Amino acid sequence: MALKTAQQYIDSLRKLKSDVWLFGERIDNFVDHPIVRPSINAIALSYKVAHEPEYEDLATTTSTLTGEKINRFTSLFMSTDDLVKKVKLQRLLGQRTGCCFQRCVGMDAINAVFSTTYETDEKHKTEYHARFKEWLKYIQQNDLCVQGAMTDVKGDRALRPSQQPDPDMFVHIVERRKDGIVIRGAKAHQTGSVNSHEMLIMPTLTMREGDEDYSVCCALPSDSKGVHFIYGRQSCDKRKLEKGDIDVGNYQFGGQEALTVLDDVFVPWKRVFMCGETDFSGMVVERFASYHRQSYGGCKPGIGDVLVGATAAMTDYNNVAKAGHVRDKIAEMNHLIETLHACGLAASTQGTKTKAGNYQPDILLANVCKMNVTRYPYELCRLAEDLAGGALVTIPSECDLRSPEVGKYVQKYFKGAGSVSAEERLRMLSLINSMTFGLTAPSYRTESMHGAGSPQAQKVMIERQSNMEQKKKLARKLAGIEEREKLTD
C-alpha cells in the first residue's frame, strides 16, 4: 500500500501502543482525545490531498527506490523541481489547515540522512546508506508518517554533550550489543511525535572528540518499549474540552508538540545510520536545518493566507474595508506573505545535487528564508490584531451566546454591519485569536521564532555561507585598490 487514505492513516494510529501522557495522566485512546484529535486531522489532510486529482503532481511522486507512486512526504528530492513542489504543497496544506501539519520534519530528515549516510559510507566504509534505503523503502511502501527528532533538551548550554553533569541531557548510546544499540535521553518540542508511526533520530549539533556516544542517528517505531510522550501544553487548550466549537477558533485542525523520552530504548543494527562518527554529525544537522528552513517558505505563507483572509473578513464585518489605512495594512500583510514564499522558492530553484543523488536547497537562501520567518509572522499577527479590534480578546463565550438569559444581548451587541450575525463575528474573532495566541499550537507567532532553530542559528549559517572575502574583493576592484576589470584587450 503505497498511498494511504486519510481514514486509513487514522485507523493505523489506533494500532499503535504508544505511551502518551497529558495533564499527568496516561491517555489510553489518544486518537479520539479532543486535545489531540485536531493535530491528527491536520496530518490526515496530507493523506487526503494525495488522492485529489488536481493536486496529484504536488502531493505525490514516483519513488526512485521502488518505482511506486508515493506520498511526497516520504520522498527524496531528486531535482530542484521536487524542492519547488515541496514548498508549493506546504503552502497548500497551510492554507487548508491554518496550522502546522507536522509531516515536514520527517520528510526533511529523510533527505538529510539519505545524503549524509552516503558520504559517511564513502569515508568510513560503513553500511549505513544501504540500511537507510531499506528502511525508507518500508516507509514508502506503507506510507508511514515519520517524526524527525533532532532537538535535545541540552541541559547546561555552555557544556558539550559529554561534559554534562547528567549525560542524558543529550540522546546517547548507553550500550552497544551484537544485535544493536541501546539509547537514552529525550528529544524536546517534537512536532507530530504522538501522531507518527516512526521516529528518525538525529544528533542536535556538531559533535567533537569525546562525544562519540552522542553521534547517533537511528530509526525506531513510535511505540517502542521505553518511549514515553509527554504532550505539550497549548494556550487555552482546555477550551477543547468544553461544549461547542466557537471558542476554539480552528476547531477541526491543530498542531502538536511533545517531550519524547527515550528510556533505554533498543534499536537493531539495521535501523542504525550513525554510531560514533562525530565528523558527520555536523553534516546531517546542517543539511536537515537547510531543508527545514526552506520548508518555512511554504507552510508559513499558507497559514498567513488564512490569517490575512480572516483579518480582511473582519474589516468587511465591521464595514471598514474600504478605508485607506485598512487597505494599506492588508496590502502589507500580503506583501510579507509573498516575500516569505518567494524566498522559499528561491532556495529551491538554486538547490544543488548531493553525492547521493538527491537535491538540497541553497543553504544561504534557506537560512535567509527562516530569518525572515522569525520576523514577518510577528508583524502579520500585529496587523491582524490591529484590524480585528479589541474584541479579539474580550468577546463572550459560546455559552453566553447560547444562553437563554443573556444570549439575546450577545446577539444584539456583537452583531456586525448589515446582515453579519454576532455568531459570524465571534467565530472569525476566535479564529484570529487561536492563530495569534497559540490555541492551534504551535503558535504561528512563537513557533516562527524557534521552529527550525532560533534566529541566532540562522545568523551563524548566513555568516558562514556569505562569501565576504569575495565581496571585499569586488569592492577593492571598483575602488581601484586592486586592478580594475579590463573592458578591452
Q: Which three cell numbers, joined as nine digits, stand for 5?
A: 487514505
Distance CA 329, CA 335 (A): 10
Q: Is 217 a catalytic residue?
A: no
Q: Which three cell numbers, joined as nine digits, stand for 438?
A: 497559540
Catalytic residue among 117, 191, 315, 436: 191
Q: Is 42:255 a contact under the CB 8 Å cutoff?
A: yes
- φ, ψ dihedrals at 443, nearest 5°: -55, 135
What percent of the residues of the chain are helix, what percent strand, and what percent coil, each to the nearest 5?
A: 55, 15, 35
Q: Which three cell numbers, joined as nine digits, stand for 89?
A: 504543497
Catalytic residue among 100, 275, 343, 381: 100
Catalytic residue among 61, 172, 197, 257: 257
Enumerate the β-bridge partners of residue 180.
268
Whole-angstrom Cα Rg for the chain: 24
Q: Is 275 a catalytic residue?
A: no
Question: Which among 442, 18, 449 has a CA at the least distance from the CA of 191?
Answer: 442
Distance CA 220, CA 198 (A): 6
CA dist list (Å): 245 to 242, 433, 434, 446: 8, 13, 12, 24
CA dist list (Å): 346 to 80, 420, 477: 10, 41, 29
Q: Can you point out the beta strands (E) in 157-294?
A: 172-176, 180-191, 198-201, 216-221, 227-231, 257-268, 272-275
Q: How many CB atoms lie within 10 A of CB 195?
A: 29
- Find the DSSP H helices in 54-176: 56-59, 80-97, 104-124, 128-142
Q: Is 447 a catalytic residue?
A: yes
Catalytic residue among 296, 317, 359, 376: 296
Distance CA 461, CA 366 (A): 10
Q: Which three cell numbers, joined as nine digits, stand for 287?
A: 543539511
Tell me the CB-side half-sphere exposure of residue 68, using CA atoms within 13 A.
Answer: 15
Catalytic residue among 33, 172, 197, 292: 292
Catalytic residue among 47, 74, 99, 104: 104
Q: Is 359 a catalytic residue?
A: no
Distance CA 412, CA 150 (A): 51
Catalytic residue among 299, 343, 369, 381: 299
- φ, ψ dihedrals at 352, nearest 5°: -130, 155
Q: What are the residue numbers of the active site?
A: 100, 104, 191, 257, 292, 296, 299, 447
